[in-house]
Structure 1
Amino acid sequence: MEEIKKQYLSYLNLTLERPSINYLQRLIQHHLIRVPYETFSKFHYFNHYEEFVPTLHQFVHNLINRGWGGTCYTLNINFGRLLKEIGFDIHFVRVKPGHLGLMAVIEGRKLYVDVGYGSPIMKPVELESRRKHVLHGFGEEITFTQKDQALYEIDRKSNGKSFVKKEIIWQPLSERDLAADIEASYHDNEENVVMRRITAVRFHGNTCYFLRNGTLKAMTYRNIREYQMRDIDKWVNTVYDIYHFDKESIQESIDFLEKRNIKIFT
């Protein structure tokens, strides 16, 4: 396990330090920059693994060798595992619908952490310190609003318009408590849209690259450029150049969706 921790931290371009809020913030920032949100590995784990969430060893191996990150359960669970291994007091929290986050407890302060939302939540958020928190980044505004004693809403906006809302159930859970949620995220049916489209998000410098099937958006603090791709070879090369996934897993995702009559290009 010591070697796995060392490899994970090295991939994040960080070294082991004493747990602190400052160190946690740097871990979050480096994780969002270095580790992508993506569904390519989700399809692979569905096809080839008995457990949907890879072990920490599998996650780090595929991160280093295949450029994979994952979706929320894979990303936040394995980041939570790393944080626990290096001394942080970490719990999981359910976020509805279909998501989870982390609760980090440092010096009695409870902090919300989320590296699995494809969103620039670049720092831990002390939800209980005030009723509303607002973060900005890459053309996005993220608002956390208290709704009840242990209930908080996350509202993500672009150009002033809300495009997704979820609710944080602010109660500590274990991985085992989330088993049914994880299984539901892999349901192979039309209602589960995550299993019916390709998505990838990478933060690089001042640009966030957002891929949804054949559409790529390059978002900065000032503008959004959108590219509609129609040629499969160009699309594969673009995905490879921006996200650095191996081409075998890119093709596997194409095949996965084609078998379900989903066309990347519309």
Structure 2
Amino acid sequence: MTRIVTSLSEISHQYDALLVDLWGCVHNGVAAHPEAVAALTSYKAGGGTVLLLTNSPRPRAGVEKQLDSLGVPPSCWHTIATSGDSARAAMFRGVVGQKVYFIGEDHDQRFFDPINVVSDPVAIQQVPLAEAEGIVCTGPFDPMADPAENRADFLYAKQKGMKLLCANPDIVVDRGERREWCAGALAALYTEMGGESLYFGKPHPPIYDLARARLAELGKHPATDRLLAIGDGIHTDIQGAQGEDIDSLFITGGLAAAETGTTDQPDPAKLESFLAKGQITPTYAIGKLR
């Protein structure tokens, strides 16, 4: 049974480290959530470790710059693990070949920057689809366009046996008041059409391996039962935590605000119905991170 709490501090003393989602929890893609920043700053000041665990396709350095621009200060976190870094390592190991067709926006070209954690990396080349061995997707070309617009290309890619590397398993994200499609929507479509999609962010194991490696870099090796995952994605943050046997705090006022009847706090009956439908049970729930 999921327990509804009123603040992070109500439960945080039970945990040595937090694995915290960003979009929908700490910021909304436009600006930081002040209460979330304050809660994480307080937890960090009390000796806890804060790892920001994001399905962003960007490298860690790119996320740091984004956080600064959104007003999320370094005082509320220690380190970052991104889906992008996990996926980039796999790409440079050659999981989708050397010649790749890129689906994404221009600002995600840094995904192809050299990486120093892979020995003997593959020399990746971006090529047209007709010349590609595989696909790398950081997101749609246009986040507002219907993913179905990719059907023709995906049919060709599937027939050629191409694998699609998905750098962000999220289906949608809310940028302020606007809902946008993410790479996960395209990967889901490709899989539905019979293609093979490879995932490296939440809820899939590779990003949790990266998170533990990032904690180890800080000299932290918390036991699994001393970790708490926080996020608003029931099928990413919470399902991923459940798969890793990690306790979770579900932020109901993010992607599932309407379904859970959340204004300040979730409606208990609607929350129970929502969770039963998804067959996922977070340890705790709260309207927003505070």
Q: TM-score, normalised by structure 1?
A: 0.28
